[in-house]
Structure 1
Amino acid sequence: MTNKFLLFILFLLLSLNSALAQTKISLITEDYRPPLNMIIDNKIVGISTEIMQEIMKREKIKYTLEVLPWARGFNTTQKKSDTALFSTTRTPERENLFKWVGPIISNNWVFFAKKGSKIKINSLDDAKKYSIGVYTEDAVTEFLQKNGFVRNENLDVSTNDQQNALKLQAGRIDLWASGSALGPWIVKLANAGSIEELYTFNKTELYAAFNINTDDKIINQLNKQLKKMKQDGTVKKIYNKYFYQK
Structure 2
Amino acid sequence: MTHASQTLRQRGALILTTLLALMVWGPAVSGAESRSFDLYIAEAPPLSMLDQSGLHGIVGDATLEAATRAGYTLHFVEVPWARAQQNVRKGVDKLIIPLSRRPEREADYTWIAPIMTMDRAFFSLDKRVQSMQQARETFARIAVGRGSAQEQKLRAEGFSDAQIYPFEIGENPAQLLLMGRVDAWFNGIPETQAIWRKLSNRTLQVSPSLMKTDLYLACSRQCDALLVRDLRAAVETLRKDGTLERIKNAYLKEP
Letter in 1 for 2:133: D
CA contact 1:134–1:161 (8 Å) conserved in 2: no
Aligned partner of residue 172 in structure 1, secondary structure:
coil
**CA deviation vs aligned residue, 1:86-116 (integer Å, no higher than 9, x gap):** 00100001011000122111111111112xx
TM, length-normalised to structure 1: 0.84
Distance in 2 between residues matched to 1:191 and 1:77, nearest whole Å: 35
Q: Which residue does 2:163 correspond to in 1?
A: 154
Match status 1:82 vs 2:93 = yes
Match status 1:212 vs 2:221 = yes
CA contact 1:78–1:211 (8 Å) conserved in 2: yes
Distance in 2 between residues matched to 1:206 and 1:168, nearest whole Å: 26
Distance in 1 between residues matched to 2:173 and 2:201, nearest whole Å: 10
Q: Which residue does 1:143 correspond to in 2?
A: 153
Match status 1:171 vs 2:185 = no
Distance in 1 between residues matched to 2:58 and 2:144, nearest whole Å: 22
Identity over aligned residues, as a percent? 24
- Mark the CA change 1:22 to 1:245 in structure 2 (over 3 Å): closer, same or farther: closer
Aligned partner of residue 147 in structure 2, secondary structure:
coil
Distance in 2 between residues matched to 1:202 and 1:99, nearest whole Å: 23
**CA deviation vs aligned residue, 1:177-219 (integer Å, no higher than 9, x gap):** 0011211012234458442321321111100120111123321
Q: Which residue does 2:41 correspond to in 1?
A: 29
Letter in 2 for 1:21: E
CA contact 2:39–2:74 (8 Å) conserved in 1: yes
> Which segments of 5 or more consecutive residues in structure 2 lack a partner in the other structure?
1-28
Q: Which residue does 1:183 correspond to in 2?
A: 192
User: Shift in Å at residue 26 of structure 1?
Assistant: 0.6
- Mark the CA change 1:178 to 1:204 in structure 2 (over 3 Å): closer, same or farther: same
Aligned partner of residue 177 in structure 1, secondary structure:
strand
The structure with more helix, counted as a fraction of residues: 2
Aligned alpha-carbon RMSD (Å): 2.1
Q: Could you tell me which of 124, 128, 132 is aligned with 2:136?
A: 128
CA contact 2:99–2:218 (8 Å) conserved in 1: yes
After TM superposition, where is structure 1 displaced by more than 6 Å over at least 4 residues in a row?
Answer: none
Distance in 2 between residues matched to 1:202 and 1:169, nearest whole Å: 24
The structure with more strand, counted as a fraction of residues: 1
Letter in 2 for 1:25: F
Distance in 2 between residues matched to 1:187 and 1:35, nearest whole Å: 12
Distance in 1 between residues matched to 2:226 and 2:77, nearest whole Å: 24
> Which segments of 5 or more consecutive residues in structure 1 lack a partner in the other structure?
1-16
User: Shift in Å at residue 18 of structure 1?
Assistant: 8.9
Whichever of the two has the greater Rg, that structure is: 2
